[in-house]
């Protein structure tokens, strides 16, 4: 039996997430908003009966067994730790928090309650083009990996009204919102973590027609960074929004090996293969073409379609996990999903890129370890949530 879902957040992503969950058979039992008015407006538009601006009202709702967290990042750790402490499964949006300490709290709580789902919604892992790419990489179809190049163009980044996504100190900006997906994707595809990084993060768009006056945008709308992986593999990532909004979103991920390259453009996968002693082929071969259509409207979401399609696949995997016939649910369908430990690694890379941009130098990626005393405090906090 599928658990009832509690939602945290009232952003545009809810206009996509709610229909996706319902399409897969999940029932939305409650929604939380920063203010009661925001919660009420979203509840009415999505036909959700229970709404509130109090976190505990959703977590303690008797029909809620799974929570999706897509609110301000500084609340992610508090909600996740409390939810796990009272036996709720958790799917958290990116970024996991504002700092590594937030991510570490979530990791410790997930380790303390290992039978519960605790995932980060890095949805590109579930996009079919990337699942096929990973299989071909495992088969070494292009030989040893040498270089990864990622280019993302976003026609629109900021919402119509000012919120946390417009504020760099609150976790907004292309690096956190899109770059985190790319960092996790590279880790997923290659099973390697960055050793050091070099990056440039800039804010060019300070106002929009709807966001001006006293409040200005401080979230970065451009970033370019390099990640050095073990074995000398170099990853170059460029993400920017300086395109005509009508052109929309484009994304290209190319992984080059000694015998050719694999490329994902949008949701399609291509192969360019070279053979020793023979002239190179004249064009790429299409290995997978995405023809699946979404049955929901995505016009009101800032989330690009490939990310939404991956989200749909991830929710399908959740349904399969909870629908297991065994007495206790099985995690196997969601083994490909990003864990809180994966999210902690991504958070460490994000911090290193920000530091590199500020110091204008290469920075090593350091995952901070938790002290025993701090760990005990986190566990006490989690246990108190069950009382």
Q: From CA 130, how far away is CA 218, in angstroms rounded?
A: 32
Q: From CA 84, how far away is CA 66, in angstroms rounded?
A: 10
Query: 3-class SS at 80?
Result: helix
Question: Which pLDDT belongs to residue 371?
Answer: 44
Q: From CA 59, how far away is CA 82, in angstroms rounded?
A: 8
Spell out the domains of the chain, with CATH numbers in brackets: 4-123+304-339+366-384 (3.40.50.720), 125-288 (3.30.360.10)
**C-alpha pair distances (Å), 192 with each of 16, 122, 183, 186, 310:** 32, 17, 11, 8, 22
Element of type H or E holding 227: strand 222-228
Question: Which pLDDT belongs to residue 297?
Answer: 59
194-228 pLDDT, tens digit per residue, is: 999 999 999 988 888 888 878 888 899 999 999 99
- In order, the DSSP letters of 324-387 are -SSSS---GGGTTSEEHHHHHHHHHHHHHHHHHHHHTS-EE---PPPPHHHHHHHHHHHHHTT-
Question: Which pLDDT belongs to residue 158?
Answer: 82
- Percent with pLDDT over 90 in the chain: 70
Cβ 70 vs Cβ 163: under 8 Å: no
Helix and strand element counts for the chain (H, E): 11, 16
293-330 pLDDT, tens digit per residue, is: 766 655 555 678 899 999 999 999 999 998 765 544 56
Mean pLDDT of the chain: 88
Q: From CA 330, how far away is CA 52, in angstroms rounded?
A: 32
Q: From CA 303, how far away is CA 274, in angstroms rounded?
A: 36
> Could you tell me the pTM of the whole model?
0.90
pLDDT beyond 50 at 269: yes
For residue 29, the cross-strand partners are: none
Q: From CA 52, how far away is CA 61, in angstroms rounded?
A: 11
DSSP character for 181?
H
Strand pairing of 89-92 and 118-120? parallel
Backbone angles phi, psi at 146, to 5 degrees: -120, -40
Query: What value does the mean pLDDT take over residues 26-53?
Result: 97
Q: Which two tokens stand for residue 216?
A: 């200005």
DSSP character for 133?
H
Is the pLDDT higher at 247 or at 142?
142
Q: From CA 170, how far away is CA 166, in angstroms rounded?
A: 8
Q: Which two tokens stand for residue 325?
A: 């016939």
Helix 372-384 vs helix 76-85: crossing angle, to nearest 10: 70
**C-alpha pair distances (Å), 363 with each of 93, 178, 303:** 26, 21, 30
Question: Which pLDDT belongs to residue 386?
Answer: 41
Count of residues for the chain?
387
């Amino acid at each position: 039996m599928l658990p009832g879902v509690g939602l945290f957040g009232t952003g545009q992503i809810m206009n996509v997430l709610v229909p996706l969950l319902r399409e897969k058979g999940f029932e939305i039992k409650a929604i939380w908003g920063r203010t009661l008015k925001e919660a009420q407006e979203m509840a009415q538009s999505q036909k959700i009966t229970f709404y509130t601006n109090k976190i505990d009202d959703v977590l303690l709702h008797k029909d809620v067994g799974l929570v999706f967290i897509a609110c301000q990042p500084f609340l992610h750790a508090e909600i996740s730790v409390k939810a796990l402490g009272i036996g709720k499964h958790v799917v958290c949006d990116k970024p996991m928090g504002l700092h590594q300490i937030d991510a570490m709290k979530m990791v410790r709580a997930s380790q303390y309650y290992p039978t519960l789902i605790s995932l980060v919604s890095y949805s590109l892992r579930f996009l079919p083009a990337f699942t096929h790419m990973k299989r071909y990489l495992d088969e070494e179809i292009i030989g040893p990996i040498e270089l990864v190049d990622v280019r993302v163009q976003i026609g629109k980044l900021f919402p119509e009204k000012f919120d946390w996504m417009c504020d760099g100190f609150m976790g907004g900006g292309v690096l956190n919102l899109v770059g985190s997906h790319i960092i996790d994707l590279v880790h997923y595809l290659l099973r390697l973590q960055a050793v050091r990084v070099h990056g440039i993060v800039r804010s060019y768009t300070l106002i929009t027609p709807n966001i001006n006056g006293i409040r200005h945008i401080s979230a970065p709308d451009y970033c370019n960074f390099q990640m050095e992986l073990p074995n000398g593999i170099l990853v170059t990532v460029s993400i920017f929004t300086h395109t005509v909004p009508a052109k929309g979103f484009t994304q290209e991920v190319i992984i080059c090996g000694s015998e050719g390259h694999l490329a994902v453009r949008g949701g399609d996968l291509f192969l360019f293969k070279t053979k020793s002693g023979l002239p190179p082929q004249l064009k790429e071969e299409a290995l997978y073409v995405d023809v699946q259509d979404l049955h929901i409207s995505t016009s009101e979401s800032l989330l690009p379609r490939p990310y939404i399609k991956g989200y749909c696949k991830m929710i399908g995997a959740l349904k399969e996990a909870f629908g297991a016939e065994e007495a206790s649910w099985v995690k196997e369908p969601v083994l490909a999903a990003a864990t809180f430990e994966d999210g902690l690694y991504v958070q460490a890379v994000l911090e290193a890129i920000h530091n590199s941009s500020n110091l204008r130098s290469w920075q090593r990626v350091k995952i901070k370890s938790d002290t025993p005393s701090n760990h005990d405090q986190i566990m006490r906090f989690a246990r108190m949530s069950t009382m």
